[in-house]
Structures are given as structure tokens and as C-alpha cells.
Chain A
Amino acid sequence: MDILIGSLVAGVLIGMILALVALGLTIIFGVMDIVNFAHGEFLMIGMYTGLLTAQATGIDPLLTLPVAAMVGFLLGVICYYGFIKYLVRGPMVAQLLGTFGLMLFLRNLALLIFGSEDQALHRGILIGKSFDLGMGVIVPATKLAAALLSVIAFLAIWLLMNRTKTGKALTATALNARGARYMGIPTDRMNALAWGIGGASVTMAGALLVNFWSVNPFVGILFTMIAFAIVALGGFGSVPGAFFAGLVVGMIMEIPGIWDFLTYALNWDWMANVPMTSLKYTFVYLAYFIIMVLRPRGLFGWKR
């Protein structure tokens, strides 16, 4: 039983961070109708930012969050003004091609700078410690802290979007860009802002993730796909949807754990022979496909 609860708790915790990853994608998509294939690469940059800042300054990795947010915001804004702005004039094919180019660019730049080895954090107050949740469920302290900080960051961005004037202007741009322009909202700046906020939220997630997940230049695409799955489930452009869908996808990623539990509980031999751990992410991809085909608006759909 503790295997099952342990898996579910792990799913919820990772899901909270994944929600923050997907938040960036859904904001950008909501405002601009463009799918950023380089999203996972933003995350990878966030991971390196967290790692290197912690190593260079000696501060605790969890405290690198503001640095990562700043880097992410700048990265998003630079990408928008330097590239995306020109891209969105073209047809959808060109947009796909372009953000793919961006993905290749960032990924290989990282390869050039950091090399292809896995790098992981070794120092930090919480690293190596764990937390007993009771009922035999023990979670790493870093994971727990990262998940909680993710929720706080998520809420902060959500408040920014809903409670401030700028946030409302952003939402207006998302609903109807042309209408917003006629109302005097500088949509170009809003787009840049969306990229900034989107970038900041995903790099923050990266800085949190690196506490218990090693980083290499190729880590991005996995999270791009996971983020797509979350956004598809939550409804493209929906912020609350991203949160709940993040939790669901976190659970989907823990299917191998649940499978282990079932194998143990049912005591069927053939179940033990299924290489579930290798198929961990397969379920995420499958979930995206099935959700899109059955429910194109997502479970909590808002736009389209």
C-alpha cells in the first residue's frame, strides 16, 4: 500500500513542478497562438542557471529562483524581439520551422558551452535529506521544497495575470488581439511580456527541477512533450487548466509505480516482466494523442 501512496505523492509533487513548466507554454500560446517548440530548451537553460549560480556563489540552489526568473524573462523578451516577432508574420509552417530552429540553436549552444555530460547538484541544505510524511511515505526534501515553491510561483504568476492591470491587458490580447489593439493596448509589448513571463515561469521550474534532476543539453525535448501534453489536457491557453492537468500528468508519469503496486498486490508474474520503467514517458505521449483526439478542447478548455 505504501508503494501506491508513495507513487501518488511523487506524482503530485512532480506534477506541481510540471504545472509551472506548462504555465509558460500556455501563456505564450494563449496570447500569440504560437507553439514554442523550444520551450523545453528554456527549461534546460533554467536548470543550468540554477546549477551554475549555486555552484558559483555557494548559495543554496533553492534560492537561485530569482536569478532564474530574471534570466528566463530576458531570454523570452530577447527571443520575441529578436526572432519571434518576424516569425509570426509568416504562415504556420514557417512558425513551426522557426521555433524548431530556435530549439536546435539553444540545445546545441548548450552542448557547445557545457558539454554533453550529465551534471547534477551535490551541495545544498536539503540535498540528501528526506521528509517523512507518515504512513511509510518518505520523500526527498528537495522534491518537496521544489514542489511547494513551484506552487507559490504559479500562484504569483496567476495573481499577476488576474489582479493587475497589465495582466488584464495581457488577457485581453489573448482573447482578441485586434480588439485589444483598437482599445489602445500595445499588443507588441504584450506579446513580448507574454514571452517574458512564459520564459520566467519555465526557467524557474528548471531551477527547481535541477535540485533533484540532473541536467544535460538534451533534456529539453522530453519536457516540451510533457508540457504539450499538459497544455492539451488543460485546454490550450487555460491557466487553471494547466495546474490541474500538471497534477494529472504527474500521476501518469508514476504509472510504473502504480504498476509495481498492482504486480505486488495481484501477484501476477507476467506483470513483473513488462518493462514499465522504460515506458514511463510513453504514457505521457499517448495521453496527449488520446486527449487531443477525444477532447480537442482539453478537459478544462477555455479557448477554441
Chain B
Amino acid sequence: METLKSAFDFSDFPRLDISIAGIIAIFLLVFPLFSHSAFAMATMIQFLMFSVYGMGWNTIGGYGGQVDLGKAQYVGIGAYTTAVLLIRWNIPFWFSMPLGVCLAMAWSFIIGYPLFRLKGHYFAIATIATSLVLMDLFSVWEFVGAARGLEISPIKYHYPDFWRLIFKKDIYYYYVILGFFFVGILYVNGFRRSRLGFQLRSIRDNEEMASSLGINVHWAKIKTYAIATAFVSVVGSFHACYIKNIEPQDTMGLDLSILIALMAMLGGAGSLWGPIIGAAVLIPLKSYLKAWLGGAAGLAGIDLVIYAVIIMLISALEPRGIWGIVEKVRRRRWQ
């Protein structure tokens, strides 16, 4: 009960933040009523998906300080579970999604146990390695379509199919992912002030100190890693139904893992709004740069060059991300 209450308790934020967040929430709710551009709609869905990815990453990476660069493997587990179950046995999304979460979490416990014996850089690289191993295995596994991947053919279903999450119009997908987005915010809001949330922040600061306060550092990290995994896997399942075409390279590749981590770090790791801000900046930037520059006159890659420059600037000048800048400005005003 107390946990539920604290999920809805935003009282420790300044009133300005809450008002802005409220306005944005209302905007997100009514956005589809005004916009008829398919491009804007697709971008918004991407933004929401990556916000939720980022929120998940933020639990272990931001609050826990464990730079995880292998989140894509869990996107893959979620996506493949949903796709395989739907294609082979016609099992709807709302059953396959929780099952995907369970599988992803189980896998996260198996590799999390050895993984968290490593620290810092070594940990980060090892997460990449595990993710690539799984991707390679999926690329040769005939049952899941090997390198060709899987395709959900929408013709078989009647639109709109709420059970299987097969829609023709993006607006339905929009509201589904928006629901996950709000649930995600509430969960992380409760998480950051829960016992585990406090323990993680203590671990991020100093592991010896944390263990002197009775915190089982290894176990706390594994638990949080599983929570982050659940977030990512849910969106992975959604991804399968939304994109309808999943390949190992797209759903489990390193690029996706990096993007998830970058999003959260750029916005501000370890803050509630950070991943959302990161996604809000990077996703539209990415799709608009691509639409404007990438498509035109053989300038493939220029969008990502600009993107990379922004990342480099942020990391060198303000390592706490965009939210770090906001807080800095705010504190200066205060004094």
C-alpha cells in the first residue's frame, strides 16, 4: 500500500517540474487527436518506446551506476517470445508479453550472477559480449528464423485486434505504449525512493560502505538488473507487434544496446526525467536528421555524425547529462 502511494507521490519535485510534467502528460494524451502526420506519429511512438527502454536502463545504470551495454538481448527475448508464440500457436500479446518478461528475467539472473562479479569497464564490455553471443545464437537458430528473422503477417487477423495487438492504425499502438510509459514513470518514481532504490544509490557511491550497512551488494545489483530487464522486455514484445518484422541484428544488435544507454545517459542518468528527456531530444533529432539529410543526395551517415558530436560534447562538458545542466542552473539561482 505504501509502495503504491509513493509511486504517485511526486511531492519532492519543485512545483515548476510537476506543472511542466503535467502539461506534457496532457499533450501526450491528446497528441493523436491533432496530428495526422504518419511521420510524426511514428516518431512519437519511437520516443515513447525509447523512453521506457531508458527508464529500465536507468534503474540499474543510473541509480545503480552499473553501465549496462547489453540491454538489446532482452529486447530480443521479449520480441521473439511474442512473435514465436503468435505465429506458431496464435497466442495473444497479453499472454506472451508476461511470459517474455519471465524468460528475460530468468536469463538475466543466469548471466547476472557471474556478470556482477565484474566492475566498471570490465562489466560494461562483458554485457556487450553476452548480448552479442545471444544475438549470434539467434542468428543461427532455425526455430526462430535464424538470420532472416520472423515476420508477423497481419493479413491473418481482424483489425483492430486488441488481444494480439495487431492494428492497422498507429494511433492504437500509440495509446498502448503511452500506457506502458505512464506505468513506467510511476514505477520508477516509487522505485527511486524504495528501500532497493536507496540501497542502489548507496552502492553506486561506495560498495564497501554499502555492504557495511547490511546491503548484499551483489544480490541488490542482480535484482535491479532483472527489473531493468522486465522494462526492456515488455517494449520488446510491443516492438514485435508494432514493427511486425524482427531480425536478430535489429532487435538484439549492439547499436540498439548503445542507443538505450546513450538515451538515458544523455538525458541524465539517475534522475526520473533523464531518460525521457534523452529520448525526447535524440529520437526526433535522429528521425528528422535522417529524413532531411540522410535521404538527400547521398548524405547517409551525416545524421549520426551530428548525433555523435552532440554525445561527445555532452560527455566532455556535462557528464551528468541534460538534467545535470538543469540542476546546475537551478542551484546557481538558488544561492
Complex contact A111–B132 (CB within 8 A): no
5 contacts between A and B (CB under 8 A): A91-B319, A95-B315, A97-B315, A275-B140, A278-B136
Task: Write out, one digit per residue, whether chain B residues 303-329 have a CB within 8 A of any chain A CB (1) or not (0).
Answer: 011011111101111010000000000
Interface-facing stretch out of A181-189, A247-255, A285-293: A285-293
**Chain B residues with CB below 8 A from A109, complex form:** 301, 305
Residue A282 is within 8 A (CB to CB) of chain B in the complex: yes
Number of B residues, CB within 8 Å of A = 49
Write the nearest CB–CB distance from B108 to chain A, whole angstroms.
15
Interface residue ranges, B against A (CB under 8 Å):
61, 65, 67, 69, 114-115, 117-118, 120-122, 124-126, 128-130, 132-133, 136-137, 139-140, 147, 254, 258, 261-262, 265-266, 269, 298-302, 304-305, 307-312, 314-317, 319
Complex contact A278–B139 (CB within 8 A): yes
Complex contact A286–B133 (CB within 8 A): yes
Contact among A94, A221, A278 for B315, CB-based, below 8 A: A94
Contact among B114, B117, B125, B136 for A279, CB-based, below 8 A: B136
Known: A96-B124, A105-B312, A279-B140. A112 touches B129 (CB 8 A): no
Complex contact B258–A90 (CB within 8 A): no
**Chain A residues with CB below 8 A from B299, complex form:** 112
**Chain B residues with CB below 8 A from A162, complex form:** none
Contact among B69, B125, B316 for A86, CB-based, below 8 A: B316
Q: Is the interface of B mostly helix, strand, loop or mixed?
A: helix
Known: A108-B302, A111-B301. A97 touches B311 (CB 8 A): yes
Complex contact B137–A282 (CB within 8 A): yes
Q: With the chains together, A284 CA to B258 CA distance in Å?
A: 20
Q: With the chains together, A293 CA to B114 CA distance in Å?
A: 6
**Chain A residues with CB below 8 A from B314, complex form:** 97
Residue of A95, A101, A115 contacting most chain B CB atoms (<10 Å): A101
Interface residue ranges, A against B (CB under 8 Å):
35, 83, 86-87, 90-98, 100-105, 107-112, 115-116, 217, 221, 225, 228-229, 232, 275, 278-279, 281-282, 285-286, 288-289, 292-293, 296
Complex contact A282–B132 (CB within 8 A): yes
**Chain A residues with CB below 8 A from B132, complex form:** 225, 281-282, 285
Q: With the chains together, A228 CA to B254 CA distance in Å?
A: 15
**Chain A residues with CB below 8 A from B305, complex form:** 104-105, 108-109, 112
**Chain A residues with CB below 8 A from B301, complex form:** 108-112, 217
Complex contact B265–A105 (CB within 8 A): no
